Each structure stands twice: as structure tokens, then as C-alpha cells.
Amino acid sequence: MALGPTDMKILKILQDDARVTNQELAEKINISASPCWRKVRKLEEDEVIQGYRAVLDRKKIGLGVMVFIRVAIDSHSEAEARKFEEEVTALEDVVACYSIGGDADFLLQVVASDLDYYADFAMSVIRRLPGIKEMQSMFVLKEIKPLVTYPVKKLSE
């Protein structure tokens, strides 16, 4: 699917403010409201836009600890990896999980209220996931540039 310059402008604006009205969005990109609405609907149908959500301050909702966990699993069979992925997906405290290359198989991003909660979660939940051979916790000391939006590159018109 090829995205045009207008599509890219729409994506950039919606990432910055998903509450912008269709009329305001149309004015910002210099098209009328109807074509703007159709373009947004098309981006949603094509799953370029996968949803709208509020960005929360994790510390203000009581999640003061963020940890990345490198996980290596015993077996590299497809079934073993799929079982691990299914179990991790069901864990609310794991806010992101990536299959990675290198000396580990997965990278998990975990949030917790405090270190005691994280220690209990790591030992009683993560350690007991199927096929875990090794795990290493890396504690976030300071968030410098958290993921909020993706870069939307301008296309030549």
C-alpha cells in the first residue's frame, strides 16, 4: 500500500492529537472535510491507523518501575516459541514483547509499582514461563525518549 503526502500529513497530525476534529484536520492539510474523512476511514480500513488512545504518565498511575527483560528460551521450536508468546501476551504487566536476534530470543518491557512487586512478578511469573533458559533484568533509571509516536516521513508531492 502506497501512502501519499496527504496521508502522511494526516498520520502526523493524528499522532500528535487524535482528538482533532475532521474539520480541523481538513483545514490543516488544505482539503475539504469529505475527502479528509474518506482518507482517514481508508487509513483505518487498511489498518495503518490501528486505534486511538490516551497517552498516560505511568508514574502518576502508580507504575514507578520500568524494566526490560532479555529472555533466552531452551528450545527454538516454533511450538515452544508460540507457547511462550501466548503466555506473555496474557500478562498485563508486560506492556511490550519483541522477538529479537542476538544472544537472547525475546525482549520484554515490564512495568511495576515498585521493586518488591517487580521482584515477586519476575520470580513467580516470568521465571515460570515455559521454556525459559535465562533472563536478565535491565532497570530503567530515566526515560529520556519514550515511544509516543512513530516518525512520519514527508513524501515529495
Summarize pLDDT for 137-146 with one digit per residue, the tens: 999 999 999 8
Which fold would CATH assign to domain 58-139?
Answer: Alpha-Beta Plaits (3.30.70)
Output the nine-digit C-alpha cell for 23.
474539520
Print pLDDT tens along the chain (157 aa).
Answer: 789 999 999 999 999 999 999 999 999 999 999 999 999 999 999 999 999 999 999 999 999 999 999 999 988 788 888 899 999 999 999 999 999 999 999 999 999 999 999 999 999 999 999 889 999 999 999 999 988 888 887 654 4
Using CB atoms within 10 A of its CB, is residue 109 exposed (0-12), middle (13-18) or buried (19+)? middle
Kindly report, residue by residue over 108-138, the tens digit of the pLDDT. Answer: 999 999 999 999 999 999 999 988 999 999 9
Q: Pairing mode, if any, of strands 106-112 and 94-99? A: antiparallel
Task: Please answer whether residues 1 and 48 qualify as being in contact, where contact means their C-beta atoms are separated by less than 8 angstroms.
Answer: yes
Output the nine-digit C-alpha cell for 132.
525459559
Task: Please answer whether residues 97 and 88 qualify as being in contact, where contact means their C-beta atoms are separated by less than 8 angstroms.
Answer: yes
Number of residues assigned to the chain: 157
What is the residue type of 74?
D
pTM exceeding 0.75: yes
* Helix orientation angle between 22-29 and 5-16, rounded to the nearest 10 degrees: 130
Q: Write down the H helix ranges in the chain.
A: 5-16, 22-29, 33-45, 78-89, 115-124
- The residues spanned by each domain of the chain are 5-46, 58-139
Question: Structurally, what CATH architecture does the domain formed by 5-46 represent?
Answer: Orthogonal Bundle (1.10)
